[in-house]
């Protein structure tokens, strides 16, 4: 039988070996904090966007498109119905798309998808909505039967057209500013990289 000193020495060697193997093992637990998932937690409304011109216009567009859609939906009889169906499609599509963009911008959800050019997306939406709402309102004005619901839908259609037109103008300006900022950032980045190359002669020797 081994003596107590030998057993103690064996246990000490075993613990030392386990510590060394644990330190060198690639499966040792890490102490780095686990990054939290973004998900939908921590969503906050951006009051500055809703108070701004683009935010107020987008809220007005959603309301006007919804009212126009409700007015056209109350019409039970039509002949011909093509103009009514076209106005219904335009008002419903504008309400849905603009409502989604309003939610994305007001909650800053668009910041989580930087791969999409949101300024250009908003510009395309407002431009197309302006064009189609204007055409749909003119067609409805030409083919309506002078009922209260048709007249109300036509009025709100032209109001929505005006709101989208102003928003398109502001979106164009915002898009131009973003293009200029991107060009300036690219120029500054290129100048910085060229200065780094000039300050490191070993890179120049490798290039030659």
pLDDT at 18: 46
For residues 135 and 34, what is the distance between their CA atoms, to the nearest angstrom? 54
Q: How confident is the model at residue 200 (pLDDT cuts 50, 70, 90)?
A: low
For the chain, the residue count is 208
- Alpha carbon 76 to its chain's center: 38
Residues 22-44, mean pLDDT to the nearest whole number: 50
pLDDT at 21: 46
Which residues contact residue 84 at a Cβ distance below 8 angstroms, ignoring those fewer than 6 apart?
A: 72, 75, 78, 140, 143, 150
Spatial contact of 164 and 129, defined as CB atoms under 8 Å apart? yes
For residues 157 and 149, what is the distance between their CA atoms, to the nearest angstrom? 12
Structure tokens at 59: 């809220």
For residues 161 and 134, what is the distance between their CA atoms, to the nearest angstrom? 6
| Tens of pLDDT, residues 40-82 | 555 778 888 888 888 999 999 999 999 999 999 998 877 788 8
Q: Is the pLDDT of residue 13 over 60?
A: no
Spatial contact of 58 and 105, defined as CB atoms under 8 Å apart? yes
| Tens of pLDDT, residues 95-152 | 999 999 999 999 988 888 888 888 889 999 999 999 999 999 999 988 877 788 889 9
């Amino acid at each position: 039988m081994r003596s107590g000193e030998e057993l103690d020495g064996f246990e000490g060697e075993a613990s030392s070996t386990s510590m060394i193997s644990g330190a060198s093992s690639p499966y040792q637990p890490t102490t780095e904090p686990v990054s939290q998932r973004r998900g939908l937690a921590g969503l906050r409304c951006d009051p500055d966007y809703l108070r701004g011109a683009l935010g107020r216009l987008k809220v007005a567009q959603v309301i006007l498109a919804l009212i126009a859609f409700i007015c056209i939906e109350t019409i039970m009889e039509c002949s011909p119905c093509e103009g009514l169906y076209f106005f219904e499609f335009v008002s419903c599509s504008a309400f849905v798309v603009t409502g989604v963009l309003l939610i994305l911008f007001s909650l800053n959800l668009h910041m989580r998808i930087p791969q999409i050019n949101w300024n250009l997306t908003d510009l395309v939406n407002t431009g197309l909505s302006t064009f189609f709402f204007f055409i749909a309102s003119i067609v409805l004005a030409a083919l309506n039967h002078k009922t209260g619901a048709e007249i109300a839908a036509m009025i709100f259609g032209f109001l929505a057209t005006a709101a989208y037109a102003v928003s398109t103008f502001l979106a164009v300006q915002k898009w131009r500013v973003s293009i200029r900022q991107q060009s300036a950032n690219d120029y500054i980045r290129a100048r910085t990289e060229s200065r780094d190359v000039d300050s490191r002669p070993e890179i120049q020797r490798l290039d030659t």
